[in-house]
Structure 1
Amino acid sequence: MVSKNDFKGRTPYSDYIRETAEGNAGMVATAHPIASEVGQKILREGGNAVDAAVAIQFALNVVEPMMTGIGGSGFMMVYDAKTKKTKIFDGHVRAPKAAHPNMFLDETGEVIPFRKRSTKATAVGVPGILKAMDAALRQYGSKPLAELIEPSIAHAENGVEVNFVLCDALENFEYRLGDVAKNFFLPEGKKLKPGDILKKEHLAKTYRILQEKGISAFYEGEIGEAIIRSIKKLGGFMEMDDLQSYRITEDEPMRGTYKGYEIVSSFAPSAGGFSVLQILKILESFKIEQYDVRSWEKYYLIAEAMRLAFEDKKAFMADPEYAELPLSGLFHPEYISERRKFINFEERNNEVNFGNPWKYDKVTERQIVSQPFEKEQSETTHFTVQDQWGNIVACTSTVEHPFGCGIMVEDYGFILNNELTDFDSVPGGMNEVEPGKRPVSCKSPTIIFKDGKPILTLGSPGGPTIISSVVQTIIHFLDFNLDIKSAIEEPRIFTPMGPHIEWEAGIDMNSKGHLEGMGYVFNDVPHSIGNVQAIHMDQENGISYGAADSSREGCALGLDKEDF
């Protein structure tokens, strides 16, 4: 079990009470207490997991506006306990019709620096989270949209306490804010402090419109018109027609096995599910559980498998509506065996690169175009819900980088995303910008099944670190038999492709030194990686355990049968 010495130095032990819960008739885990309370309220009033998830998403726009909101996107995974089927409502952004492959190059053909291109109105993708929620609610929900929005309107009008997460985001990412957002988050140029009350009358007005007129007001009515005005004013090229023609997809998830468990995760254009499954498949035969949880061998195996999967992700993932993906080849046993051979336990393998899955697949081979590596911190949020009937929702939603593109829709109080920067900046590859296309994402909402029954659901924010956070939490839980809170809190590492390793406080220093001797280069100081929210379903005893990561103000809340 977790003790006060296990907390990565991030929060007091007293917060453990807020971050964990158990119940036999429902569970909510989110990155903020208000969002969790809203979800719990809906469940207590007889709502199901989809009802609660929709209410939570509206609440998170109030309390985590720098991470998520109605101006962004999301992948909502729904498990229906009655049919035992899982589907994904893909509300990822799409590129406007005026978008083109060269849009991130300057007049000389050079890539525009990330900070510049990511804070322009041209970086805004057509938002999809509202349509995804609307579709899920129509299929599975039991409560009207207006009722699910109401709790968040009250919080927006009355104001919510500013927490350390928002203050840290403003301290580190103030440069991303446009004029309207800056005037709101830095009133009269003064920085918000933890404990300040921040009221959001304009957002409440927007929510009232959605209550009265429905989601169509966002895509066809006055909210949409305000979005286009704000974008056009700042040089963007999205048109009202782009909003009106936006469509979600309802997808089968990615599925794979790991040591007798079925892993179900996101499907393309999110590369998260693919990467999580490929990393686990590469690691499966190494029996990572034979090593200590903080051994160099464990960190080494995760780092090398991660590097292999990220090389393949960059090369072969794209919107499946625009390119055939060599998924059969990427998971072919012989291809996985080839990838495992790069792991030698002697050194960081400098030969790691993307492989050749085409020879194991029938799809047409495509050109691979290398992209510049740009280290910029993405942020997002993840939340998960289980209801009294056993239905589950796992949702990762975002405005991409902190505060998205920095554009707050004037008089309507919400931030717009900058998700078009997830397309390749150098054109020619599978993930190049095209009108109507969805960029590659790393979102990884995941449900794990044993003998056909769900035993764990989890996900994380953090851009590419999402994948590493989800994989390591799964390994800590399944291979090292840690309880779910301990599995989340066990220090994580992240390495994308090069020698660089990001790390959390608490990893073994001798193991760190050993890896440095193998050619890895660590950050000078540790920092939090991801923010996992999870629910463990103990099917044998009929109890669910919720846990929230201590890197934010996370909160898990459970319900028992007597609460109804």
Structure 2
Amino acid sequence: MGKNFKTRSRRSDLNRETATGKAAVAASAHPIATDAAEKILKDGGNAIDAAIAIQFGLNVGEPMMTGIGGSGFFMVYHAESKTVKIFDGHTRAPAAAYPEIFLDDKGEVIPFRERSTKATAVGVPGILKAMEAARKEYGTKPLADLIEPAAEAAEKGVEVNWVMDESLKNFEYRLSDHARNLFMPNGKLLCEGDVYKKEHLAKTFRILQREGIDAFYEGEIAEAIVSTLKDLGGIMELSDLKSYRISIDEPAWGTYRGHRIASSNMPSAGGTTMLQILKLLEGFDFSQYHAKSWEKYYLFTEAMRIAFADKIAFSGDPEFGDIPLKGMLNEDYLAERRKLISFDRRNDSIDFGNPWKYTDGNEINVVRQPFEPERERSETSHYTVMDKWGNIVACTSTVEHPFGSGIMVDGYGFVLNNEMTDFDAFPGGLNEVKPGKRPVSCKTPTIIFKDDKPVLTLGSPGGPTIVGSVFQTIVNVLDFGMDLKEAIEEPRIFNSTGPLIGWEAGISMEAKGEMESKGFEFAEGPFPLGNVQAIQIDHEKGFLHAATDSSREGKAAGINE
């Protein structure tokens, strides 16, 4: 296919957003982060080392999307052992959390904007412990070396880019007083082109360099986190931080068009939902459709509705309840679910299925959650690295919604997540709030294999839309034969269980009209969905191709030796 795609941003730069390397490549949503990875790789570090450097760099360049006050699913393909592990650094609920924490005195759900910017919205952060566990198992560099590029950038100063500018303008109301001191000096929002120093964040990084990750969970940083939250009515204690533990998980596995796919596992429902969608679509021959056809959009939409009905009903923390994972990915079950798709018209009766018939475990009652029209789209970040030894890291990390809870740790320069709001607000279901529990996520870091060799790795931010961004990019590559950048830039659509479709500029208006005639509704205007970062491996020619998404200021880097 030709490269006549329209990028989804007014600031696209193909030289920055794409790279090829013979030895190693990296891709992230911000130049500071990718530059940090490139430095580590050139200094002899491996993919695990470089990915950790990216995470610290993103806290400097994209603090509204991710940071050390949040969580992440750090997926590692270890080439020597040919194994895939997920170092799950998802947030956990503090010990004082309880199922009704987001209900008011009348037993009604507290409005999302209000509950998501309170100290009770903050879960115990886990990304640092996940990365440190991966570094100790697979890394080659000292932690201090991996933090250094980000620490230097924070001390030197960061230029506000258009992504940060728009985030501040749109979500200034989420910022607490300490965050306002940084992002609104003299009461005025930072604007594109402004350079600001992150001295408090640099101080935090220097502490971590000297004292290690334990300083975050037991030392002075931990004390500052708890003190800041207590001042704002929070429930987190030092014991919550000290007792936090990650899990090291097997990925969720599936197949599509002769490929084997590893993706995130519960409590991130993203991987299971994405694999369900692909298996539903595998029953249709895309060679008879083109990438702008209404049939493609129609199949995408109905497959999403079927999979998300299951996701909403059956997702949770497997440490706290039976999840019918085997049933949800059972091919006979999905063949049965595929029968819900008819080209005649949108199926008005799609609901969750009965995967319990295909798995072990005790069937549970599904507690439906009230519809909340004011919920904001989650903001997150994805990055990926492959090194000269063949190791791969794909990590999706977050502080959840823009600027997380908006609460910045006093004197330490990083914001805290609001991931507690990923639990069901109304209790009783698999995803109700409980102490020590992890909320359901949609993060979908993914690695695809052909003949036991990795050929593609990708992921995206965007809350539930992550799933849509990832599976559509995969279909664009495997079914429509697009090159990597073209596959990322092809306009995407998204819906969950209802008739309303979110869409990006550039989809076929003729196809949109056909979809509307079949019972679908489209959002009033287009908006960017996700921000895919990806690597494609050409084993035949010996090249690695990295690409970033034009919806942010992403950067790809390639190394040839």
| Cα gap change, 1:314 to 1:221, in 2 (>3 Å) | same
Counterpart check, 1:401 vs 2:409: no
Q: Which residue of 1 aligns with 2:363?
A: 365
Stretches of structure 1 that go unaligned for 5 or more consecutive residues are: none
AA partner of residue 451 (structure 1): D
2:16 corresponds to: 18
CA distance in 1, matches of 2:446, 2:2: 23
Which of 236, 239, 243 pairs up with 2:237? 239
Report the residue type matching 2:297 in the other structure.
Answer: Y
The aligned counterpart of 1:491 is: 491
Give the aligned partner of residue 322 of structure 1: 320
Residue 218 of structure 2 is matched in structure 1 by 220
**CA deviation map 1:435-494 (0-9, x unaligned):** 000000000000000000000000000000000000000000000010000000000000
Deviation by residue 1:85-105 (Cα, 9 ceiling, x = unmatched)? 110000000000000000011
Q: Partner of 1:191: helix, strand, or coil?
A: coil
CA deviation map 1:254-311 (0-9, x unaligned): 0011110001000100001100100001110112232110100000000000011111
Whether the 8 Å contact between 2:49 and 2:135 is mirrored in structure 1 is yes
Deviates more, 1:165-174 or 1:185-194: 185-194
Partner of 1:33 in structure 2? 31
8 A contact 1:8–1:504 mirrored in 2: no
Deviation at 1:182, TM superposition (A): 1.4
Aligned to 1:354, the other structure's residue is in SS state coil
| Partner residue in 1 for 2:277 | 279
Q: Which residue of 1 aligns with 2:422?
A: 422
Deviations 1:185-207 (A, max 9, x none): 11112121211101100000000
- CA deviation vs aligned residue, 1:313-364 (integer Å, no higher than 9, x gap): 0100100000111112212233112211111011111101101111222210
Aligned length: 559
Displaced runs of 4 or more, over 6 A: none
| C-alpha distance in 2 between matches for 1:180 and 1:104 | 24
Counterparts of 1:47 and 1:8, CA distance in 2: 33
1:165-186 Cα deviation digits (max 9, x unpaired): 0011111111111111112111
Amino acid at match of 1:118: S
Match of 2:447 in 1: 447
Within 5 Å, give how 1:85-484 maps onto structure 2.
Answer: 85-374=83-372, 375-484=375-484
Amino acid at match of 1:458: L
Query: SS where residue 248 of structure 2 aligns?
Result: strand
In 2: Cα distance, 1:553 partner to 1:121 partner: 31
Q: Which amino acid aligns with 2:498?
A: G
> 1:332 and 1:41 mapped to 2: Cα distance?
44
In the alignment, the residues of structure 2 paired with residue 557 and residue 25 of structure 1 have an alpha-carbon distance, to the nearest angstrom, of 11
Aligned residue among 55, 58, 72 for 2:56 = 58
1:551 corresponds to 2:551: yes
Q: Work out the CA distance in 2 between the residues paired with 1:297 and 1:225.
A: 56
Q: Determine helix, strand or coil for the equivalent of 2:302.
A: helix
1:8 deviates by: 4.0
* 2:5 alignment partner in structure 1: 6
CA distance, structure 1, for counterparts of residue 463 and residue 98 of structure 2: 23
Inter-partner Cα distance in structure 1 for 2:428 and 2:66: 30
Equivalent-residue separation in structure 2 for 1:78 and 1:446 (angstroms):
10
Judge conservation of contact 1:8–1:505 (CA < 8 Å) in 2.
no
* Paired position in structure 1 for 2:527: 527
- 1:145 to 1:492, Cα distance in 2 relative to 1, 3 A: same
Instruction: Please give the secondary structure, in 2, of the residue aligned with 1:409.
Output: coil
Instruction: Give the AA of the match of 2:315.
Output: M
| CA–CA distance in structure 1, aligned partners of residues 533 and 7 of structure 2 | 16
Could you tell me how far 1:6 is from its partner in structure 2?
A: 1.9
How far apart are the structure 1 equivalents of 2:140 and 2:511?
A: 51
Q: How does 1:42-81 map to 2 (within 5 A)?
A: 42-81=40-79
Deviations 1:58-95 (A, max 9, x none): 01000000000000000000001111111000000000
Other structure's SS at 1:482 match: coil
Give the Cα–Cα distance (whole angstroms) in 1 for the partners of residues 456 and 114 of structure 2.
Answer: 40
Partner Cα distance (2:456, 2:208) in 1 = 33
Question: What is the rounded CA distance, in whole Å, between the counterparts of 2:287 and 2:466 in structure 1?
Answer: 22
- 1:411-432 deviation line (CA, Å, top 9, x unaligned): 0000000001000111000110
User: 5+ unaligned residues in a row in structure 2: which ranges?
Assistant: none
Q: Which amino acid aligns with 2:397?
A: S
2:80 pairs with one of 79, 82, 98:
82
The letter of the residue matching 1:418 is N
Output the CA distance in 2 between the equivalents of 1:321 and 1:35: 33
Task: Name the CA distance, whole Å, in 1 between partners of 2:91 and 2:360.
Answer: 29
Which whole-Å CA distance do the structure 2 matches of 1:67 and 1:319 have between them?
23
Could you say what secondary structure the match of 1:6 adopts?
coil
> Structure 1: how far apart are the matches of 2:2 and 2:151?
37
In the alignment, residue 392 of structure 2 is paired with which amino acid? I
> SS at the partner of 1:86?
strand
Tell me by how many angstroms 1:540 deviates: 1.2
Instruction: Output one character per residue of 1:485-510: Cα deviation in whole Å (capped at 9) or x when no partner.
Output: 00000000000111110000110000
Question: Could you tell me the TM-score, scaled by structure 1's length?
Answer: 0.98
Counterpart Cα distance in 1 of 2:280 and 2:209: 48
Shift of 1:33: 1.1
Tell me how far apart the structure 1 counterparts of residues 429 and 386 of structure 2 sit (CA, whole Å).
Answer: 40
Is 2:32–2:150's contact at 8 Å kept on the other side of the alignment? no
- Alignment partner of 1:95: what SS? coil
Q: Distance in 2 between matches of 1:478 and 1:332?
A: 22
Distance 1:354 1:447 in 2: 27
Which SS does the other structure have where 2:295 is aligned?
helix
Task: Tell me the percent identity.
Answer: 64
SS of the aligned residue for 2:395 comes to: strand
Matched residue SS, 1:285:
coil
8 Å Cα contact 1:2-1:485 kept in structure 2: no
SS in 2 for 1:396: strand
Range 121-130 or range 176-185, more displaced = 176-185
Partner Cα separation in structure 2 for residue 337 and residue 553 of structure 1: 41
User: Structure 1 CA distance, aligned partners of 2:490 and 2:510?
Assistant: 17
- What is the CA–CA distance in structure 2 between the aligned matches of 1:209 and 1:103, rounded to whole Å? 34
Q: Is the contact made by 1:424 and 1:433 (CA closer than 8 Å) also made in structure 2? A: yes
Does the residue aligned with 2:283 lie in a helix, a strand or coil?
helix
